[in-house]
Amino acid sequence: MASVKLDNLRKVYPNGYVGVADASFQVADGELLVLVGPSGCGKSTLLRMIAGLETITSGTLKIGDRVVNDVSPKDRDIAMVFQSYALYPHMTVAENLAFGLKLRGHDRAAIAGRVAEAAKTLELDELLDRKPGALSGGQRQRVALGRALVRKPQVFLLDEPLSNLDAKLRMSMRVEIARLHRQLGATMVYVTHDQIEAMTLGQRIVVLDKGLIQQIDTPMALYEKPANVFVATFLGSPKMNLLQGELVEGGSERDRGLWLRIAGDIELPLSPEDFMRDALRSRLGQRLDMGLRPEDMRIVDGSDRAQLPARVEAVEPVGNEAFVNLRCGDSEIILRQPPNDLPTPGDVVHLAYAPGRAHFFDSDTGARIG
């Protein structure tokens, strides 16, 4: 296996559109790195540059110790798995698995050995004589993975490999890919637009938006300390609530603290854990966005000081919990509540948040504060 290193990798399409702007990161040997972002953010462009299917406008790409900018795809020692499976319909599973090796001139015995090994790893033994038309979506995707596996490449590149599967199958294939990664100790770069897939599979995640890398970190670090509003609201479901307001100082002499003035008469006192942050104190008088995850807010009885009045707009029970949609000034808020003891649409309730769990962002740039 090998590492992959990108230095200021840039893609400008012939029409002048910048698909990827100066991407720099390293995928460690044996790491499963996920590229995630909304449709059109440049993740396929980035993966295709690593694969050699897209030319590199500028920057340096290394696989292992070798600069591969101008190396053809077949000589990069990578294997790619596509969303579309790209299986040959007239060939059996065994022939599909063997095809790439045959092209590369491996001898029969070696091919048979590798096909048998991949079939065992992916539990395809029973299906070797079938053609793709006689397989389920999940089985086809396993064959597509098998075809990459038999190549024993330095790096696996996976482009939305589970997008064509239904939700249940996606979950089981996700577990299978994670198992495969552990078993092979393989270097993998995995592209998805699905934040759940990114969070569950990635050892580290690269978050992209509009061709630009927004943040690179472990799933929990991204969740706990998003670098900006984009990352904060992209990861997590329901997404992080944002309350925009002006940071003011208030309270009595003995009880001086910072407040967020949200609308004319709506003010939220910040917990000491929050206003003790130096970065926040220096923002007095400025407008900023306060971010609170749905699980970090709850409805309280109204006697607490740190609370926010909000009107219940809708209640959506989903079994084990309910999503409560509320409005506070111009802001929409979503809470997760236990399924018993739910408010009714139209109620005005009071909300409190877990001390120290608030995130703050610059209202103009979206950058994290503190």
What are the residues binding ligand ADP (CB under 6 A)? 13, 15, 17, 19, 37, 39-45
List the 359-362 sheet strands across, edge first.
266-269, 257-263, 241-250, 287-292, 359-362
Residue closer to ligand ADP (CB basis): 24 or 55: 55
Supply the minimum distance, in Å, between the C-beta of residue 41 and ligand ADP: 4
Supply the minimum distance, in Å, between the C-beta of residue 40 and ligand ADP: 4
Strand 155-159 relative to strand 78-82, pairing: parallel
Supply the minimum distance, in Å, between the C-beta of residue 13 and ligand ADP: 3
Residue closer to ligand ADP (CB basis): 210 or 281: 210
* Alpha helices (runs of H) in 164-216, residue ranges in sequence order: 167-184, 195-201
Supply the minimum distance, in Å, between the C-beta of residue 272 and ligand ADP: 42
For residue 28, give both structure tokens. 């460690």
Q: Is 320 helix (H, G, I), strand (E, B) or coil?
A: coil
Residue closer to ligand ADP (CB basis): 61 or 268: 61
Supply the minimum distance, in Å, between the C-beta of residue 89 and ligand ADP: 26
Residue 160, CA atoms < 13 Å, CB-side half-sphere: 17
- Closest residue to bound ligand ADP by CB: 44
* DSSP symbol at 367: B
Q: How many CB atoms lie within 10 A of CB 210?
A: 13
| Alpha-carbon distance values, 74 to 51, 63, 77, 78, 146 (Å) | 9, 13, 7, 8, 18
